[in-house]
């Protein structure tokens, strides 16, 4: 019985996800408008999140699966076609070869994918102390904020919360932790491979200026960019939820019809 109890305790801990790597905290439990079976993305928040990505995150991180034209897709930031053209043109894209067989630079087009900040992975590592900044296209699906089968079944994997927690989780080490601090590393107890992270705190108040006048605090920018990254990971989320809701509604009506037909057919049959 003692062995069974121990095995059951270990299994329960694994399912509920109460334990994580030493020195690493589960993601903060913040909420988003797109959570739940009927949740939707906040268009203004996605547009603000793109601005944070472009002016802060894109300096080191790529987003290879996204094209500028996706920014006008229904269910996303829904920039106008003119806005997308203007946003794409702020980037320089290498194209070619031309008639002389040479590569050349040109302004970005809506059909272009988001350009990477570095020519290749080796250049990215060289500019970041040997660490390769991850591509952010699917980061909220690749980095869970909390663990455990039961926990994730009810609350999701917490990918957006993980991004938010890392961006807002930098802190100065105390005297004891400072003795353990590796060179060039920052203390962040929410970083999955932490608690030391090679990326310095990327956000500070007013590091960007929002077009809609929203105050650009660290908390606000972290919420906005994590929501934007949730959309890039699941750009068809709203359509999927709508289809799921309509399917459940159809099944409910169909079930009711079958029940009424059954009652009609068997109404005259003695029990």
**pLDDT score of 21:** 59
DSSP 67: B
Q: Which residues pair with 94 in a beta bridge?
A: 105
Q: Which residues pair with 95 in a beta bridge?
A: 104
Answer whether residue 121 is part of any domain.
no
How many domains does the chain fold into?
Answer: 3
Residue 136 and residue 57: Cα distance in Å, rounded? 9
**pLDDT score of 16:** 41
**pLDDT score of 219:** 98
Output the CA torsion sign for 99, 104, 109, 113: positive
185 and 250 both lie in a single domain? no
103 and 176 both lie in a single domain? no
150 and 198 both lie in a single domain? yes
58 and 17 both lie in a single domain? yes
Answer whether residue 119 is part of any domain.
no
156 and 229 both lie in a single domain? yes
12 and 106 both lie in a single domain? no
Asked if residue 136 lies in contact with residue 66, where contact means CB atoms within 8 angstroms, the answer is no
265 and 161 both lie in a single domain? no
**pLDDT score of 158:** 95
157 and 208 both lie in a single domain? yes
Residue 222 and residue 164: Cα distance in Å, rounded? 5
pLDDT tens, the chain, 271 aa long: 555 444 444 444 444 444 455 679 999 999 999 999 899 999 999 999 999 999 999 999 999 999 999 999 999 999 999 999 999 999 999 898 888 888 999 999 999 999 999 999 999 999 988 889 999 999 999 999 988 888 888 888 999 999 999 999 999 999 999 999 999 899 999 999 989 999 999 999 999 999 999 999 999 999 999 999 999 999 999 999 999 999 999 999 999 999 999 998 888 777 6
Residue 24 and residue 192: Cα distance in Å, rounded? 7
Output the CA torsion sign for 174, 178, 181, 183: positive
Q: What range defines the domain where residue 102 resides? A: 67-112
Residue 152 and residue 154: Cα distance in Å, rounded? 5
What DSSP assignment string belongs to 37-49? TT----HHHHHHH
**pLDDT score of 44:** 97
**pLDDT score of 124:** 94
Per DSSP, the three-state class of 57 is helix
Please name which of 129, 132, 137, 136 lies closest in space to residue 167, comparing C-alpha atoms. Answer: 136
């Amino acid at each position: 019985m003692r062995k069974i109890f121990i095995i059951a305790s270990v299994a329960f801990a694994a399912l509920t996800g109460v334990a994580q790597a030493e020195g690493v905290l589960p993601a903060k439990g913040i909420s988003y408008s797109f959570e739940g079976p009927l949740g939707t993305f906040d268009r203004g928040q996605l547009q603000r999140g793109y601005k944070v990505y472009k002016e802060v995150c894109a300096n080191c991180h790529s987003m290879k699966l996204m094209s500028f034209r996706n920014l006008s897709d229904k269910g996303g930031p829904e920039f106008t076609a003119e806005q997308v053209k203007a946003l794409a043109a702020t980037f320089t894209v290498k194209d070619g070869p031309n008639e002389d067989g040479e590569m050349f630079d040109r302004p970005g087009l809506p059909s272009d994918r988001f350009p990477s900040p570095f020519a290749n992975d080796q250049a990215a590592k060289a500019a970041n102390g040997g660490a390769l900044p991850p591509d952010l296209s699917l980061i909220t699906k690749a980095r869970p904020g909390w663990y455990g089968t039961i926990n994730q079944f009810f609350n999701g994997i917490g990918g957006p919360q993980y991004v938010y927690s890392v961006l807002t989780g930098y802190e100065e080490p105390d005297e004891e932790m400072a003795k353990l601090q590796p060179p060039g590393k920052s203390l962040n107890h929410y970083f999955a491979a932490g608690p030391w992270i090679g990326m310095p705190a990327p956000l500070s108040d007013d590091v960007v200026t929002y077009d809609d006048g929203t105050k650009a605090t660290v908390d606000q920018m972290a919420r906005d960019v994590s929501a934007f990254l949730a959309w890039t990971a699941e750009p068809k989320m709203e359509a999927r939820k709508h289809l799921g809701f309509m399917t459940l509604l159809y099944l409910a009506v169909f079930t009711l019809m079958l029940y009424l037909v059954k009652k009609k057919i068997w109404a005259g049959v003695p029990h």
